[in-house]
Amino acid sequence: MRLLSITLLALLLVSCGPEPEAAKPVPPPDPTTEAWYAPAVAKLADLDRQAEAAFRKNDQDKAAALIEEAKPISARLLAAPHPTLEAMEAASDLDQLYGQMLFTNHNYGWARLFFQKNTSRWKIWKPQTTETVRRLKLAEDGIAACDAKI
């Protein structure tokens, strides 16, 4: 009986002590600092330029193929918790071009969706610069053009 009392008392004292310090969670690595990130931004920007050139030459099929190739790159770059400004600009250029193509093809609702993505993107971007304000205005103009046609 005495052994049981001592065991229970020891158990009670141990349970009243401070909680063991929990291991601090290790934050996930920042993808923007990884070796693949900057080349992916450059690749997306290059695909944007190629698609824009094809669109200006009225080669819709080539522009569409380049946009499709660029979409997964854009999604991967934007999956970072805090994408770089360069990645945001490249993704924005892709969405702006896609919106313009959809608008040209009279798909005003879909075009509006892509312009709206850019509006949201640039409204919340900090710090605001003349370039981000210009991009916001461009997206808002795209929405207005779509609204006029809907």
What CA–CA distance (Å, rounded) separates 68 from 44? 11
Please give the model's pTM, rounded to 2 decimal places.
0.81
* pLDDT given for residue 11 in this prediction: 58
Residue 22 lies in a domain: no
Contact residues for 18 (Cβ-Cβ < 8 A; gap 6+): none
Residue 24 lies in a domain: no
What CATH number is associated with residue 105? 1.25.40
Question: Which one is predicted more confidently, 143 or 27?
Answer: 143
pLDDT tens column, 50-60: 999 999 999 99
For 78, the domain range is 34-149
DSSP structure string for 97-123: HHHHHHHHTT-HHHHHHHHHHHHHHHH
* Token pair 């291991």 in the structure block, residue: 23
pLDDT band at 1 (very low <50, low <70, confident <90, very high): low
* pLDDT given for residue 127 in this prediction: 93
By the 10 Å C-beta count (0-12 exposed, 13-18 middle, 19+ buried), 110 is classed as middle
Residue 65 lies in a domain: yes
The pLDDT of 83-93, averaged and rounded, is 97
Number of domains in the chain: 1
